[in-house]
Amino acid sequence: MTGKSFSVRIFLQDGHANGVRIVSRSKWSGRGIVIPRGCLAEELGRAELSAPGVYLLTETGVGAARSTLCIGAADPVCDGLARHATDDQSWSMAVVFTCKENNLNLGQCQSLAARLLPLARGADKAEIISADCSEQPPLSPAESAAVEIFLDHMLGLYPLFGVNAFEK
């Protein structure tokens, strides 16, 4: 993750900081959506979730030394989230990344998810409860470069949501 300055725009859909948040970063086509578990069912129909995306389901308790993580990718991302909507795994928040211009394909999203997995394991700040992303699909050099840039931007935003699982 680079240490370059950037600005972030956060839209508080519900009018409070712990509700649904739509996040955009300056000069980036990516978009982050933070959805509390209690709001997931009503948010699954969002237009932004009908695109390919990568998601992180997390339980970040106050004062907890380690959070729990479920990492995945889907096309559309709402399908992946719907599979977890009623599971009994311990998670309270979904953090989803998609692309505003639909420039991400499923392979790139799977690659992003697969790249997050060793980063979380290496930082040793989270327990991985589920990962639908163990293998990176084959990508062209251009797709791989786009994935690395997208990943760098994602990693810069996770701490804004209280997700420190990727920080060493």
What are the tens digits of pLDDT across the range 39-79?
A: 999 999 999 999 999 999 998 655 555 678 889 999 999 99
On whether residue 71 sits in a domain, the answer given is yes
Peptide bond into 118 cis (omega under 30): no
On whether residue 1 sits in a domain, the answer given is no
In this predicted model, which residue has the larger pLDDT, 127 or 42? 42
On whether residue 115 sits in a domain, the answer given is yes
On whether residue 123 sits in a domain, the answer given is yes
pTM of this prediction exceeds 0.75:
yes
Identify the CA nearest to 133 among candidates 161, 160, 112, 104.
112
The identity of residue 126, as a single letter, is: A
Residue 112's pLDDT band, with cuts at 50, 70 and 90, is: very high
Q: CB atoms < 10 A from the CB of 56, how many?
A: 26
Residue 134's pLDDT band, with cuts at 50, 70 and 90, is: low
**Phi and psi angles of residue 83, each rounded to the nearest 5 degrees, phi first:** -60, -25
Q: CB atoms < 10 A from the CB of 159, how many?
A: 13
**Range(s) of the domain holding residue 108:** 8-161
Return left, alpha or beta for 102; rule: phi > 0 is left, psi -120 to 50 is alpha, else beta. Answer: left
Starting at the edge strand found earlier in the chain, the sheet holding 21-25 runs 8-12, 21-25, 30-36, 93-99, 53-59, 67-74, 126-131
On whether residue 2 sits in a domain, the answer given is no
Residue 137's pLDDT band, with cuts at 50, 70 and 90, is: confident
On whether residue 28 sits in a domain, the answer given is yes
What are the tens digits of pLDDT across the range 88-111?
A: 777 889 999 999 887 899 999 999
The count of structural domains within the chain is: 1
Percent of the chain residues past pLDDT 70, beyond the cut? 85
On whether residue 168 sits in a domain, the answer given is no
pLDDT on residue 156: 92
